[in-house]
Amino acid sequence: MNIDKQISIKLNDVLLNSMLDLEMRKLIISCWEESLKTADPYKWAKLTFFSSELFTGDEEKVLPGALAMELFALAADIFDDIQDQDNHQMPWRKIPFAQAISLANCLLFLSYQALLTIENTYKLSKIVQIFNETGLKASQGQYKEFEEQTRYSFSIDEYIDILAKKSGSFAECACKIGGILAEAPQEAINDMGEIGTNIGIIAQISNDLRDITDFENKSDFVYKKKTLPFLYLINVLEKERAEEFANLIRVARINQTNLSQKEQESLLAIIKEEGAIHFCLIFQDMFRQKALKLLEQIQVKEEKRSKLEQLINVISQ
């Protein structure tokens, strides 16, 4: 049975055993299905499964952790979209904020319900602790991200630290859960966590490149979010180009809306011609190499690394 089918069946079981009424269950399913309409559905479940497959092939034992990661990440995405005022086309952005927050909270608690189906109490205890640590890291990262919007000076090191706390912590969580449920040695679980952090950073840099020019759904440029391409541009642009970029920022900020077609074309030209894409890809490759090097250190058969290696390389493209 493939991953999506396994996860779907497990989700229905968790929902049926919850105290939620039919209306809330339908809303959750609707949001769940919409969230899967991406280029890489079930990415958190896949990362959990692939991490476990380094050590064992028992998918049944890993399934609760894989579902929990999907629910946990979806809750975080909803909170993130509400705070960022992004992704207006998603179902949770079409309902009042108060209801969307309740929905995200519900998904968060459902992720713990999924974990509670893990029969081994020792593994369950370790995973719950990692879940809590992930939530704390991600919340701190989100807080810092909003804090930096009010600051003019912001370093790339500070940016990477926020990425490690946000997307990095979720990927770290998935990799560690896979290792724990597969009964991997503690040293290997620690290495898996570091691999996950690097994977999360790689994925977020890809998102940054996409989102800065997604004028319809994202507000990165309007709110001057200090993403990697933005930080690069404000530090390297000079003279006329620096003034042009500053003017585009000013127009977007004043209007609190999308740029005109001509302004969008000007921004795209700056991003492409001034090396922002190339710079971000170099950064991605640095973290890709770190992840692959850590993966090589884990004492397993070479063929067992293949799926995770492929995932790392695909995320980096």
Task: Find the range with the poorest average confidence among 123-137, 138-152, 224-238.
Answer: 138-152
pLDDT, average across residues 7-29: 92
pLDDT, average across residues 173-197: 95
Distances (CA, A) of 260 to 52, 84, 240, 246: 48, 21, 20, 16
Q: Is the pLDDT of residue 301 over 90?
A: no
d(CA 75, CA 56): 29
Residue-level length of the chain? 317
Q: Which residues of 207-223 are buried (b: 16+ CB within 10 A; e: fewer)?
A: bbbebbeebeebbbbbb
User: Quick one: pLDDT at residue 161?
Assistant: 92
Provide CB contacts within 8 A for 80, sequence distance 6+: 86, 142
d(CA 53, CA 61): 11
Q: Is the pLDDT of residue 291 over 90?
A: yes
Q: Do the beta carbons of residue 129 and residue 112 sit within 8 Å?
A: no
Percent of the chain having pLDDT more than 70? 93
Provide CB contacts within 8 A for 30, sequence distance 6+: 91
pLDDT, average across residues 277-301: 92
d(CA 206, CA 203): 5
| Residue 13 in tokens | 């079981």
Q: Which of 65, 288, 296 is nearest to 178 (CA)?
A: 65
Q: What is the mean pLDDT of the chain?
A: 89
d(CA 279, CA 118): 43
User: Quick one: pLDDT at residue 163?
Assistant: 92
Work out the number of other CB atoms within 10 angstroms of the CB of residue 297. 11
The 10s digit of each residue's pLDDT in 81-103 is 998 888 888 999 999 999 999 99
Confidence of residue 68 (pLDDT cuts 50, 70, 90): very high
Confidence of residue 106 (pLDDT cuts 50, 70, 90): very high
Q: Do the beta carbons of residue 158 and residue 148 sit within 8 Å?
A: yes
Confidence of residue 45 (pLDDT cuts 50, 70, 90): very high
d(CA 176, CA 192): 6
User: Quick one: pLDDT at residue 195?
Assistant: 96
The 10s digit of each residue's pLDDT in 204-263 is 999 888 888 777 766 666 666 778 998 899 889 999 999 998 888 887 776 656 678 888
User: Quick one: pLDDT at residue 76?
Assistant: 94
Is the pLDDT higher at 257 or at 132? 132
Q: Which fold has domain 3-315?
A: Farnesyl Diphosphate Synthase (1.10.600)
d(CA 189, CA 298): 9
pLDDT, average across residues 138-146: 88
pTM above 0.85, yes or no: yes
Three-state secondary structure of the chain: CCHHHHHHHHHHHHHHCCCCCHHHHHHHHHHHHHHCCCCCCCHHHHHHHHHHHCCCCCHHHHHHHHHHHHHHHHHHHHHHHHHHCCCCCCHHHCCCHHHHHHHHHHHHHHHHHHHCCCCCHHHHHHHHHHHHHHHHHHHHHHHHHHHHCCCCCCCHHHHHHHHHHCHHHHHHHHHHHHHHHCCCCHHHHHHHHHHHHHHHHHHHHHHHHHHCCCCCCCCCCCCCCCCHHHHHHHHHCCHHHHHHHHHHHHHHHHHCCCCCHHHHHHHHHHHHHCCHHHHHHHHHHHHHHHHHHHHHHCCCCHHHHHHHHHHHHHHCC
Q: Is the pLDDT of residue 305 over 80?
A: yes
| Residue 60 in tokens | 């049944």
